[in-house]
Amino acid sequence: MASRSVNKVILVGHLGKDAETRFTPAGVSVTSFSVATNRRWKDQQTGEWKEETDWANIVLWRQENLANYLTKGKQVYVEGRLQTRSYDDKDGKKQYRTEVVADDVILLGGRGGDGAEAGPQPVSMPRGAQKPQSAPAEDQGITDDDVPF
């Protein structure tokens, strides 16, 4: 029997700084940024509210045009997978870095600065996804009998 595993990460948080885009020697773009997520709980011993912030490093391949939209403080939805890589630092010591390799990034909240709240702003389509068709369902011949629930 084959074993199964899942490597999926979903984060909703705020960018800690503006995204940076670099290019590999082959010309492939790599955009990186960090996302802060918060957790809040009430301490059972003291009754005080406590808060903890975790930071995740995000890597987004082949999406160089997104760095202009991914600015410090923006709220984002990130979906991807965990990946750990190793490298040797300047002293020759092996270092490890765990990152989220993003498949999908969506801007959340307002458009920034104008005070108007807007819905989610997709800035990246999931890999392999196709853009939705604009024709209404009734024009596509879909009926209530086609819906599985």
Residue-wise pLDDT tens digits, 78-122: 999 999 999 999 999 999 999 999 999 999 976 554 333 444 444
What per-residue confidence (pLDDT) applies to 63?
84
Provide the whole-model pTM: 0.68
Give the confidence band of 139 by pLDDT, cuts at 50, 70, 90: very low
Percent of the chain past pLDDT 70, that is, above it, reads 72
pLDDT reported for residue 118: 45
**Given 2.40.50.140, 3.30.70.1450, 1.10.1420.10, 2.60.40.1930, which CATH number is that of 9-146?**
2.40.50.140
Q: How would you class 108 by CB atoms within 10 Å of its CB: exposed for 0-12, middle for 13-18, buried for 19 or more? A: middle
**CA separation for the pair 13, 70 (Å, rounded):** 12
